[in-house]
């Protein structure tokens, strides 16, 4: 069994962050571990408070896992402060995991800032060069590069710029486009468009976390970059199609829909 580590924030409602990552790892038949970077108070309607975990505790969590357990892949999610980012980068440089998927979480679905403005530059300088794959949506790609992205042509250009910043590969997610939901995968040599289907559902809480965790799991299991992206998009699409009606806002995706069906569990 492959061992996966998520480095991210905790979502008290269970739909995103650490909770979504661990559910996704389990759904892929891998063992999930966690380094918590922040505690958020949130539900399906939005985020109300954030308490950052101190850098020394982040470092201690990383050391506790790597000193004892083989880590086959790492997924990085919410990291809000420069000090936290530096602690993570130092730990990953020391232990050098082969696969690192970076989801540059910046703003919650409800508009709450999850990455402090001064931390964006630190993320670019410290974490992007370590990433096997980085998975920005269009607003995140704009924040990283300073380039406006409103079309497929601009998605290709911003992907090239992100590779120049040090990432080995980038998946620019096109969900914010008006005319499609296609994603663009670029590894510095070849670019591939992956067709997406826009699903009419409000229950999409944690979609980005789920996709990046699925990518980490599929890469750890030996799939090629393109295969991993296709498999992960398929997994997330099914999870969104079967999103859970929970709370009064945006409900979560269904991480275990296939397992529930096989087990005969009625949804």
Catalytic (active site) residue 208: yes
Alpha-carbon dihedral 176, 219, 121, 45, rounded to 10 degrees: 50
Active-site pick, 15, 206, 243, 251 = 206
DSSP string, 16-30: SHHHHHHHHHHHTT-
Beta bridge partners of 172: 184
Instruction: Determine which one of 23, 173, 221, 233 is catalytic.
Output: 173
Q: Is 234 considered catalytic here?
A: no
Does residue 2 carry a catalytic annotation? no
Catalytic residue flag (residue 191): no
Nearest Cα residue to 257 out of 5, 65, 24 = 24
C-alpha–C-alpha distance, residues 81 and 60, integer Å: 17
Known catalytic membership, residue 150 = no
Identify the active-site residue in 207, 210, 243, 251: 207
DSSP character for 186?
E
Sign of CA dihedral 163, 96, 34, 261: positive
List 24, 209, 233, 251, catalytic entry: 209
From the candidates 9, 17, 77, 208, which is the catalytic residue? 208
The answer to whether 207 is a known catalytic residue is yes
Cβ atoms < 10 Å from Cβ of 265: 10
Q: Which residues are part of the catalytic machinery?
A: 173, 204, 206-209
């Amino acid at each position: 069994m492959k061992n996966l580590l998520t480095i991210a924030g905790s979502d008290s409602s269970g739909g995103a962050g650490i909770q979504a990552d661990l559910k996704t790892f389990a759904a892929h038949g891998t063992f999930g571990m966690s380094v918590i970077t922040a505690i958020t108070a949130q539900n399906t309607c939005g985020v109300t408070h954030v308490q950052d975990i101190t850098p020394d505790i982040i470092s201690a969590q990383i050391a506790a896992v790597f000193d004892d357990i083989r880590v086959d892949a790492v997924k990085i999610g919410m990291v809000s402060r420069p000090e936290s980012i530096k602690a993570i980068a130092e730990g990953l440089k020391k232990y050098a995991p082969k696969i690192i998927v970076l989801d540059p979480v910046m703003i919650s679905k409800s508009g709450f800032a999850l990455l402090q403005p001064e931390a964006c530059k630190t993320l670019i300088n410290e974490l992007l060069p370590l990433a096997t794959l980085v998975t920005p949506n269009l607003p995140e790609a704009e924040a990283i590069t300073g380039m406006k992205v409103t079309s497929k042509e601009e998605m290709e250009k911003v992907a090239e710029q992100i590779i120049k910043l040090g990432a080995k590969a980038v998946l620019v997610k096109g969900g914010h486009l008006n005319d499609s939901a296609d994603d663009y995968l670029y590894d510095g040599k070849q670019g591939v468009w992956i067709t997406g289907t826009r699903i009419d559902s409000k229950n999409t809480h944690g979609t980005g976390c789920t996709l990046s965790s699925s990518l980490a799991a599929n890469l750890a299991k030996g799939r090629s970059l393109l295969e991993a992206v296709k498999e992960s998009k398929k997994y997330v699409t099914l999870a969104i199609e079967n999103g859970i009606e929970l709370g009064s806002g945006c409900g979560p995706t269904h991480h275990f829909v296939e397992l529930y069906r096989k087990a005969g569990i009625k949804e």
